[in-house]
Structure formats: structure tokens, C-alpha cells
Structure 1
């Protein structure tokens, strides 16, 4: 229980959630202040597995730019996200806090509140020009990450025909960033560029897919090339040696490991371990691999100490500067979670703790993996090691109790934003299920159901009958899932099976009476059946909740 005692000792101080060197120790480190007056180029790489970078062991030459960045800087071989969810992970990165502390526990439902200072706000307060360029609707300004950025480009891309596209390409993102960098080249800047290309569906340019040997790898290679355009610009303008360049993923991707293709449902290594590289030639060590455990919430305090500025007391992340100075690693535990299964489908949330030896995942069936003997997490040894499970459960509870919990600001996307989010495969308007419901389902058992739901979501507009074939068994197996019942009810309506549409949409509304979209979908079904009185009543209810709801007013 040594780690427990260390955790209790440090968490008596409000800052501690990930255990490591204290801020006082880091502040006296010889690297503190090394990046004073330097620019910062922060590249966040959505859905990028560490093992698809050459510097992390991929055998192909997919990522020559990132590999060279590692040679000119520090590569962190044991870096982890705190959630396999884009908005949640970026909120941790930008505030130096864990999900329970910033309260943004899932995409689309929450915004960052005003209590926590962000990296951009601090750089802006120190006279830096601040620009952000985000590739998709998930990180739009309405979710709160725009605070401190004087320029925040978050438009939803639209095709010439008016079709809402899933995201901007890496080429477009680098173009946007380069245009702004030209404007601020003679001033200090903090520039954040978000690349979304490795997120599904994988559609890289054909030459990249061919060279990389597959679509996902092709997306990673295409992103790498466009990050290279920014670094080339720094070199051409003699800014490279005074610009700290960071490349980090928000989370990884399943790609079939553990039977799962995507990322939001599980907490295994392919989702949680991320590439993290920092490079500042002449000021930071070069061609160094740091094997200490690191969380993405550690990036904020590290940057602030490199700049020579104080770290806000709200920050629970730990600076990595002591590790870069060669100090022995302190005992650490990295927190992880996914509440996506809970919010989107009414299934159990998952929580994890990663130590140098173990990964423990709290689930309806607990999971335990030996990181040293089983790095790919192929064998769950929870049943064989009950004492280790009990100890790590205790450590996880210590982390949870120490968290300075905050609630995110509840948000609802407008119709354009909801269409954009659905184009990315995300569940839209869903309720908060009851956390006291008995026996919430294990997300690991529901992988096929989620896959069928996503497939049906894509098929529904043009092949509702085929979507129904997938959704009917899904609804039988998961009748607590509003999202599944709602989509099935709409598919019945599209297939002109109006009795069944009314029944399923009514059941969905019973699960989530405040859903405006489900109510209006039911209005359309009722109108098709000539039942106008109930439809008018539902429209009035929507307008009471949202007086300027355009669709309800038109009905």
C-alpha cells in the first residue's frame, strides 16, 4: 500500500490527482524558464495511435516529420490521455485538470465553465498572440475552449453543394494556421492546430493510402505531412529554435483490438496511450525518450514552467521537467474514464487507473492487466489477482475523492451543429440516464450493438428498411437506450410503418421527455396519421422549453 500512502500524503494538498514531483521541486529545476519568450506551436492529433508513428515503433515510414521532431526533442513513451473522447481530452489538456475537475465528461453535452484558467488565457495575459484552428464541430467555441484565443477558427465545413462535411482536412487546417502565422510572425505567439484526419471514416488521399498500406495509416501519414508544412514555415522564417513544438494525440483508436474498431466505448491501451513529443532545439534535451508515466493534463504545468510563469492552483497535472532533468520517477497513477457509454446509451461508465505495473479498469466485470508482461492487454487477470484489484480500486477511490469536482455547463447543439455531429458518427440529443439503475450493462458486451447503431445511423436516410433490421435486435437487447429507440422510431417513419414509428418514438420520449427532437419527430408521424391534436400539444411543449425553436414554430 505504499502508493496509497503516497497518494494520501500528496492529495492532502488540493493540487494532487496525478502523483509526481511537486511544483516547488519543478520550479527549481534547471529547465524552468528555458522557453521564456519562446513561441508555442501545439499540434493536437485526433484519434492517433502511438504505435502508428515510426518513432513509437511502426515499421513503415508513415511519419517522417514526427519522427524527426522526436529526434530533435523528447518523446514520452508512457503518455496517456484521461478520456478517449475528443472534447473531454482537450479540456484536460487546456486546463491541466482531470475530467471530474473540469466537468466536460462527454462530447456535445457539456461546455467548459469559467472557473478554470486555460493555457490560452495565460499566454494571452503575458502578451502573446493566440490563435486556434479546430477541424470539426466537437471543439467549436460554444464548448468553452475558445477562452483566451483572440482568433478561434471553428467553422463547420460545407461542400459546394451545401452538404455538411465531417471536418476540415489536414491540408485545410495547415493553410488556415499558416495564414495567421504570417500575420503574427514578428510577435510572440501561441498557436493551436487540431487535426482530425485519423478519425473515422478514413478517407485519405489515394497516394497516401497506397503508400501507407491502408486508409487509417494513410490518414496518419497525410496529417504528418501537413504538420511538416508548419515546421517548414518555422525553419524558413528562422523561428524554429525559438518555437516550442508539441505534438500530442487526444486519444487513440481501436482498429479491431479488443474487438472494437473505434475509441469512445473502452479504456484499453490502444485508446488510452498517446504519442507525445516536445521539441525546442538548444533549450530542451534532444533525441531523448522519457519513460515516466505522463498524463495529458501534465502539458499545461510543463509549458508554464518552461515559460517561467507560476502554475495556477487549479492545475492538478504535474510538470515533467524533473523527469527531463534526469530525476528518478516518483510513484504515479494516471486517471482515465469514459462516460460516453453512460450518456449515450445508458450503459455503465468505465474508470481506470494506470501505474508502472498495472492497468485496472473498474467495470461491471473488472479488468486488470499487467503492463510489463502483457503490454497489449490480451489477458484480463482480475480474477487471478484479487488483492491487486482491491489495492488499485482503493487507489482509484483516492484519486476520485481528491478531485476538486466541478460541473460542466450543459449545452444543446442547434440543428446545423447536430447534423455535423451526426456526420461524425456521434450520438446527438440523449438524456442523462439514472446512475442508480440496477445492473448497467458492460460496454464490452455491447460493442456489436453500438456498431449496428452507428451503421444504421448512416443507412437510415437512404435505406431505412435495412437500418431497421439492425435496430430491432439492438432495441430488444438495450431497451434502456433512448438513442436506439429514437433512431428506430424514425426509421419506421421513413419506411411508412407509422404505427410502429409512433410506438417507438413514444417510448423514446418516455425515457427522455425533454427531447425536443424526438417530440418533433413524433409530431411528423402523428401528422402523417392525421392525429393533429396530440402533435399540436407536443409543439407547444417544445416552444415552452425553447420559445424560438424554428422547426416547432413552422409546424
Structure 2
């Protein structure tokens, strides 16, 4: 049976890797992984924030079926009670399943199918008495003199500065250290599934000093934020003053510093992955393992005056996805797959590769055919769908669809639409929705979304047109409550009545 390693970064946009065409950022180890594997050019998250995206990856189900449509507006925690999970199915098949780093489960020590987890949950301490393994280790190493957040940058801030502790204490270094420790103590009589889950480059943008300085010295080379003909809707002067602003016009210096910290965090992760890859090679595990690199969602980094995530735009919704099959990419297999794919495709891909049956209810498609050069199954699907409930503001609740060539976005609480031609405008600078010459394309995509949402019978469409949701109750999936009833744990003690999970450390 094949050993499987799933590497996941947090809030990592697709264009922030050298192998995705970025000639400023340094990611030699991930570029090498792409050179011996397959890169998916149009991979997307079905819901661009941490919990709904990770639930989709864990279950192979779209957000409507996991019951988690976002973070906020009545959305609860990930919880437990899933009928199947990726580590759970592999564990049942005989794998030793371990998770290292950020899981974002609730209860926070829930395993959701893993045999064991070693956790870095950033600032989240939601269970009574919970302290993550990383935070406990950090406090021990610092002797209690300082903590993980003493640099003063928030978990969702646009601000940036170098890391305040020694580099060896950074969570990205710790995550790889723990992954290497697992390799040394795993059950050698069984195949293993190891999820290595980084808490960066999600803010705080706190790369260790050498990595931060590396990009700040190149500030004239750092890509400028994308601008477009619709940006003025986000020129929110009051919101821009907040240290964790989700939108607003920022100074060029602030944006450069944020990007330097973000890029530095990614290069630091890449160098740490180099250590992991070397350990795998030393143990003769690298070539024979199935290795997947992916992120949960991206980061706007000031594009169109937006920060953070939850948006359908490329910076927030498009993610890197690299798959290296055992033995490396065959000579007749594609180096790049252009068909659109989505996070829930990972579960069926890995289960198929492991020879494990795919459970009923999985929405994703296996990418195995595409990895072998036959993308007909993906072509038949044609396009993918994503969504996010209200989080920062009602106006940002969205539904989107894309085939990698066009993207259509509907804002239910505004009743407005956007349409972008990604073939020549990956920056999404020109909104085509109101242009008469693109009316036919707009109607085609609107019709697709109507058909998708009609099956829910949730009031989003009357069967012919989309229905504006302004003033209506927040959208909720019945699958969430059904799963909650199945679970033995009572989530009610945690769920807040106002806006769902805390914003810290999303």
C-alpha cells in the first residue's frame, strides 16, 4: 500500500509560488515537487475560509453537504459526526493516520478519523483548558518570558513585522520538526497517512527576519496589487483604519510590508519542506510516496482594496495544487492540468490511489485519470461551484462558478453579479457583467447557478431566476443540524448566538 503525505498551507494564493509563474518568490522545493509531479493550473476552494474549506477536503463533500457554508453568520464549528473522513477511511483500511499542525477541529482534541494529532491552533483556545501542543512547547522554550503573539500583530491583520522569537521557535519550523518526529516513531508495519498542516502564510505576516528582509529589500520587484474598474466599492475609509481591516485603501508602504512578510513566510515554509523531503529521501520514502501539496484558500493581499479571504476572486479562491504520484510523473503524463478542480476532489483521489472504496455521498471527482493524461471526467463536469456565507459584511456573501476561463459571481444580499474573462484577465480588473456584448455569457452562467441552487429548495431561486436575499434570514444547510444530531457531543455549549466562531485565528 502507498504511503500518503498531504501537505497543506493556510491562506496561500496560487500565484505565490515559482512554479505558478511568480518570478519573485523563491520556492525551490515546491517547484521541484511540481517538476516531478503534476500542477493543477485552476484549482479552487469551494468556500474560501478555513473551516468550510477544510471540511470539504476532509469529507470530499461540497459545503452544502458538510453543512458548513462559511465562518460567521450563524455558522457553527466544524464539529464531529461526519459519516466519513479522509483519515478515517484510510485508518479503516489499515493506514497509520496522523495529523501535525493546524486541524481547526471542534472539540479541539477531536480526531475526526486520525489516530493521533499534534496541534498548532494559533490563537484558538475554545475548549476549556485547551492549550495547543505548539503553544505549550513555545512557553516551555521561552521559560514563560514571552508568548506566541507578543510581536503585537493580530491573527487577521494586514500588518507585518519580523518574527519576535528565534527562527527555530517559529510554528513553521516546529510543524516540520513534528512531522519528522512522526516518521521516526510511526508504526513500520503499516502504511502511513501524514497530514502536515502549516498555520502560515496566514497572518500574522511574521516571517523570520532573514526571510522578511529578503523581500523587503526587493520591494520594487514585489507585484503590485491588482486594480480594476470596480474597486471603488471597497474604498472604505473607516474600515481601512482597523488593524484587521477586511477592505479599504492602504498606503503603498503598508502593502509592500504585508507582501514581504507573506512572501517571506512562504519561502520559510518551502525551506522547511526541504528538510522534510530530505528526511523522506534518507528513509527511501520520497520516491515511493504519494505527495499532495495544497492550500485551503488564498489571501487578497490588497488586491482591489481587499484583505484576508472569503471572496470569490482569484487571490482568495484559487489555490495551489501539486500531486506527485509514486515513482514521479510518467513520461506520457501531463505536467500541467488545465481543467478546473476543487478541494473535495482530493479525498476520492487519495482513496482511489490507496485502493480504498470511495464512500457514498462524496461530491468530488478523483483526479487519477487527469494525472494519467485522461481528463475526460473533469471535462464532463465542466465547471466548479463555490460559496461563502456572510462573514465580514452582508454584502460579501457570495456564490461563484468558474471553468477556469470565465468566472461568474452572484452576491445574494445585494442582488448583483460580476463576470470576468480569466483567459486574458486573471487580475479580474474588468467586470463584464454590465457590458451588452457579454450579455449572452452572463445569462449562460446565471442559468447554471440557477440550476445548481434549485436542487436545494432554499429560496435562492424560483427555478427561473436568482432571488435576492436582502433582509432574509441567513442561509443555513440542513445537513449541519442533521450531523449535529448524529454526534454525541453537544455543540450548543460552544455556538454563539450572534456571529458564529470567533474571528481570531481564522
- TM-score, normalising length from structure 2? 0.70
Cα separation, 2, equivalents of 1:193 and 1:62: 20
**Are the structure 2 counterparts of residues 206 and 185 from structure 1 closer, same or farther at C-alpha, using a change threshold of 3 Å?**
farther
Q: Give unpaired runs (5+ residues) of structure 1.
A: 1-36, 415-427, 434-453, 459-555
CA shift, 1:350, in A, is: 0.7
CA shift, 1:345, in A, is: 4.5
Question: Which of residues 266, 289, 298 is equivalent to 1:220?
Answer: 266
**Are the structure 2 counterparts of residues 406 and 113 from structure 1 closer, same or farther at C-alpha, using a change threshold of 3 Å?**
farther
Cα separation, 1, equivalents of 2:492 and 2:173: 30
Alignment map for 1:456-535 (pairs within 5 Å): none
Cα separation, 1, equivalents of 2:104 and 2:431: 35
Q: What is the DSSP-based 3-state SS (H/G/I as helix, E as strand, rest coil) of the residue aligned with 2:5?
A: strand
Residue of structure 1 equivalent to 2:479:
406
Question: Which of residues 384, 389, 394 is equivalent to 1:339?
Answer: 389
Cα separation, 1, equivalents of 2:307 and 2:328: 40
Cα separation, 2, equivalents of 1:269 and 1:128: 35
Cα separation, 1, equivalents of 2:25 and 2:201: 16
**Are the structure 2 counterparts of residues 340 and 142 from structure 1 closer, same or farther at C-alpha, using a change threshold of 3 Å?**
farther
Cα separation, 1, equivalents of 2:41 and 2:396: 30
CA shift, 1:261, in A, is: 2.1
Cα separation, 2, equivalents of 1:141 and 1:151: 15
Indicate the structure with greater helix content.
Answer: 1
Cα separation, 2, equivalents of 1:86 and 1:93: 11
What whole-Å deviation, never above 9, does each CA across 1:348-388 have from its counterpart, x for those lacking one? 51110112431111112211111113221111111113333
Residue of structure 1 equivalent to 2:440:
387
What whole-Å deviation, never above 9, does each CA across 1:427-465 have from its counterpart, x for those lacking one? x956269xxxxxxxxxxxxxxxxxxxx9xx99xxxxxxx
Cα separation, 1, equivalents of 2:401 and 2:214: 37
Higher Cα Rg, which structure: 1
User: Aligned-residue CA RMSD in angstroms?
Assistant: 2.8
What whole-Å deviation, never above 9, does each CA across 1:324-356 have from its counterpart, x for those lacking one? 232343342211112142xx5555511101124
Cα separation, 2, equivalents of 1:376 and 1:205: 30
Cα separation, 1, equivalents of 2:36 and 2:478: 38
Question: Which of residues 90, 107, 114 is equivalent to 1:149?
Answer: 114
Residue of structure 1 equivalent to 2:208:
205
Q: Give unpaired runs (5+ residues) of structure 2.
A: 120-130, 156-169, 217-259, 457-476, 485-489
**Are the structure 2 counterparts of residues 285 and 400 from structure 1 closer, same or farther at C-alpha, using a change threshold of 3 Å?**
farther
The number of equivalent residue pairs is 383
Name segments (4+ residues, structure 1) moved above 6 Å.
none
Residue of structure 1 equivalent to 2:397:
349
Say if 2:80 and 2:106, in contact at 8 Å, map to a contact too: no
Say if 1:54 and 1:63, in contact at 8 Å, map to a contact too: yes
Question: Which of residues 404, 408, 416 is equivalent to 1:360?
Answer: 408
Cα separation, 2, equivalents of 1:432 and 1:51: 32
Residue of structure 2 equivalent to 1:116:
83
CA shift, 1:104, in A, is: 1.9
CA shift, 1:212, in A, is: 3.5
**Are the structure 2 counterparts of residues 65 and 405 from structure 1 closer, same or farther at C-alpha, using a change threshold of 3 Å?**
farther
- TM-score, normalising length from structure 1? 0.64
Alignment map for 1:228-239 (pairs within 5 Å): 228-239=274-285
What whole-Å deviation, never above 9, does each CA across 1:284-330 have from its counterpart, x for those lacking one? 43771111111111111111111122211110101112222323433
Q: What is the DSSP-based 3-state SS (H/G/I as helix, E as strand, rest coil) of the residue aligned with 2:444?
A: helix
